[in-house]
Amino acid sequence: MAPRDGSTHLSTEHARRTNVRGIGVSPGRAAGPVAQLAGAVPAPSPHERLAAGDDVEAAAASVAEHAAAVAEGLSTAAESAEGEAAEILATTAQMAADPTLVQSAQAKVREEGKAPALAVWEAADAVAEQLSALGGYMAERARDVRDVRDRVVASLLGVPMPGIPQREEPFVLVALDLAPADTALLDPSKVRAIVTAEGGPTSHTAILARSLGIPAVVGAPHALEVLEEGRTVLVDGAAGTAVLDPSAEDVAAAEALATHVRTFDGEGRTSDGHRVHLLANVGEPAGAAKAAQAGAEGVGLFRTEFCFLDRNEEPTVAEQVKAYRTVLAAFPGKKVVVRTLDAGADKPMPFLTDTAEPNPALGVRGLRTSWRNPRILDNQLTAIAEAAAAESADVWVMAPMVATVDETEEFVAACNKHGLTTAGVMVEVPSAALMSGPILARAAFASIGTNDLTQYTMAADRLLGSLASLSDAFHPAVLRMIEETCRGGAQQSRPVGVCGEAAADPATAVVLVGLGVSSLSMSPRSLPDVAAVLAATSLQRCQELAQLALGAESAEQARALVRGQLPVLDELGL
Ligand code: PEP
Ligand code: MG
């Protein structure tokens, strides 16, 4: 997904007035007032003292007043939030209301003549340091204390509150980028669209926006300067544009599309009936039930590392069985592809990966971690087999980051030893794409991870916003890798699916089907859009469009050629 110049579905007037252009990563159009995510609160100067003649008691009282106002604001926000966000807000509110911090800051005002903001800053830092020194759970609370510190200081200084703005009315969130901690507080009923200056198609922000169904544009360099606080903006998450002061007609059209909720009937096919299995990507086990509700035909990628992240040691087999069973239980009788642990690079795990590697993306990651630690893979396969025996789902297992025929052979043998007979590989490395024939002579199936396959084909770190224009699965070089993988699959009569983010983009999905991909796995939110576009396109048309894209010279050209031939995208606002 790259900057798109040839947006076909915006009015000419709209296109002329495009103020910010980036990478459209979550389709849909929405308008609203801009609310910028405030940057970090600056540390007050250590020399900020009360001026001669200042009322010391009034200054001390202001600390308590602002802390109380912050606590109240957070409690109100907690009441209207849900789930994890409500919990985080309520905990932070309690911390802001804690008298210890206020009293210690007031002492600094009264006894040392420090300005209220500096006093709060220093008092909170002292508490945070004590907590950090205690380690474990207490150390994690240090971050919450610093969050409260920033809020009270922002309130005292009259600067914007850090973090996701808390507003009565829905808004368009504009930020440099979103940190994972910000996104926990993101309320989809309030955030109509997201525009970030940094980030690429596989960034945290992009994945989150897609999973919440919020239109989003990332990698829009001047977003913060151009999209000023309070101005009305219309965001097009498919075209990758944001327009200030849109016409009433464009806003009405966007709103009409937003109210039209598409659903997926649970069976993907092209207009002439060619079956394309539409599956869900699942991370946290609890997400499996939601994926089933969304009509997913099964799970095409269960990222098991979610059960391992934030752990200092490997979870026990029993813990793993419990987590895996939650996912399998949501899909009785249906296919669930369980990916073995993908540790390393963007998913470091202290008990398994070496964080000092100079090039973690090219290092000991994915299946390679089992070379030195075969026991962890063995334990995981034991847990998967146990979970599979206890549930009725059709369990497939695959390994991430496979590069060679030998690795395939060893992995398949390890799975078979545990009675897991449908063992496959992810194709994420160009060598595996080019060797898919012999690889698929050993493996039962392949699933293409386009996020990593794009990263390695284009030699562009998927996490670097500055390289986002290269991180584009629509690039003909990446499409040729996919074509080659499908050729190997056809030779060996083995199914080839796609489970990277490219599967969730309806225009890319059409091309993938045309290249020979038989299943697409994506965030459950994307299922209705991909299903609707496939249902309007024949297999032959998919094949023609795939050839058109393969013959292009750049990702932009390939995308523009394909989109230009798919008027259904325009009709559906995708
Ligand atoms: C991929 O690389 O496309 C993929 C699906 O795996 P992950 O994003 O978890 O690396
Ligand atoms: Mg990957």
159-170 tens-digit pLDDT: 888 888 878 899
Contact 271, 536 (CB under 8 A): yes
Query: Which residue shows structure tokens 């009923």?
Result: 189
Q: Residue 493: its pLDDT value, please?
A: 98
Identify the residue whose C-alpha is closest to ligand 1 atom 4. 449
400 CA closest ligand 1 atom index: 6
**E strand intervals along 209-342:** 216-218, 232-236, 241-244, 277-282, 298-303, 335-339
Residues with Cβ within 8 Å of 100's Cβ and at least 6 positions away in sequence, in order, are 127
pLDDT value for 225: 92
**What average pLDDT does the chain have?**
89
Select which of 307, 415, 486, 499 is catalytic: 499
Q: Is the pLDDT of residue 555 over 50?
A: yes
* Residue 402 main-chain phi, psi, to 5 deg: -80, 135
CATH assignment of 12-38+165-259? 3.50.30.10
What mean pLDDT comes out for the span 389-396? 98
Element (H, E) at 397: strand 394-399
pLDDT for the residue numbered 5: 36
Tell whether the model's pLDDT for residue 4 goes beyond 70.
Answer: no
Banded pLDDT at 18 (limits 50, 70, 90) = low
Q: Which residues are 298's β-sheet partners? A: 335
Share of the chain above pLDDT 90, in %: 62
Q: Is ligand 1 within 6 A of the CB of residue 452?
A: yes
Q: Is 450 touching ligand 1 by the criterion CB < 6 Å?
A: yes
pLDDT digits 0-9 by tens, 79-102: 877 666 677 778 888 888 888 899
Count of Cβ atoms closer than 10 Å to residue 136 Cβ: 8
List helix spans (H) across 161-242. 180-183, 204-212, 223-226
Average pLDDT over residues 241-259: 86
Neighbouring C-beta atoms of residue 536, cutoff 10 Å = 18
Give the distance (Å) from ligand 2 centre to CA of residue 446: 13
CA of 159 to the centre of ligand 1 (A): 39
303 Cβ closer than 6 Å to some ligand 1 atom: yes
Cα–Cα nearest to 1, from 240, 196, 189: 240
d(CA 150, CA 153): 5
CA of residue 42 to ligand 2 center, whole Å: 37
pLDDT at 259: 67
Q: How far apart are the first and last CA of the chain?
A: 13
H or E stretch at 35: strand 29-36
The bridge status of strand 519-522 relative to strand 394-399 is: unpaired
Residues 473, 506, 497, 270: is their CA dihedral positive or negative? negative
Q: pLDDT (tens digit, 9 = 90+) per residue, 205-215?
A: 787 788 788 99
What kind of architecture, by CATH, is found in domain 56-157? Orthogonal Bundle (1.10)
Active-site hit among 204, 260, 307, 415? 204
Residues of the chain with CATH 3.20.20.60: 277-571
Provide CATH 3.50.30.10 ranges for the chain: 12-38+165-259
Whether the predicted pLDDT of 401 surpasses 90? yes
CB of 305 closer than 6 A to ligand 1? Answer: no
Tokens 């992995």 correspond to what residue? 411
- Tokens representing residue 225 in the block: 């300067």
Count of CB atoms situated within 10 Å of the CB of 202: 24
- The CA–CA distances, whole Å, from 242 to 190, 223, 514 equal 18, 9, 31
What separation in Å is there between the alpha carbon of 449 and the centre of ligand 1? 5
CATH fit for domain 277-571, picks 3.10.129.10, 3.30.70.890, 3.20.20.60, 3.40.50.720: 3.20.20.60
Q: Is 204 designated active site?
A: yes
Say which ligand is closest to the CA of 503.
1
Tokens standing for 428? 């994420």
Query: What's the 451 CA to ligand 2 centre distance in angstroms?
Result: 6
Q: Structure pTM?
A: 0.74
**What is the per-residue pLDDT across 225-238, written as a single tens digit (0 to 9) for each?**
999 999 999 999 98
Look at 7-11, 104-108, 492-496, 520-524 and tell me which has the smallest mean pLDDT.
Answer: 7-11
Residue count (the chain) = 574
CB of 451 sitting under 6 A from ligand 1 = yes
Left, alpha or beta for 508 (phi > 0: left; psi -120 to 50: alpha)? alpha
Best mutation site among 428, 458, 462 for ligand 1, i.e. most ligand atoms within 8 A of its Cβ? Answer: 428
Rounded Cα distance, 558 and 547, in Å: 10
* Cβ pair 280, 524 in contact under 8 A: yes
Q: Quick one: which H or E segment has residue 187?
A: none
Q: How confident is the model at residue 10 (pLDDT cuts 50, 70, 90)?
A: very low
Say if residues 88 and 185 touch (Cβ distance below 8 Å).
yes
Say if residue 261 is exposed, middle or buried (CB neighbours under 10 Å; 0-12, 13-18, 19+): exposed
Pocket probe mutation, ligand 1, options 303, 429, 526, max atoms within 8 Å of Cβ: 303
When pLDDT is averaged across residues 236-253 and rounded to a whole number, the result is: 90
Condensed to tens digits (0 to 9), the pLDDT of residues 435-468 reads: 999 999 999 999 999 999 999 999 999 877 778 8
- C-alpha to C-alpha distance for 59 and 51, rounded to whole angstroms: 11
Backbone φ and ψ of 341, nearest 5°: -50, 125
Active site residue 415: no
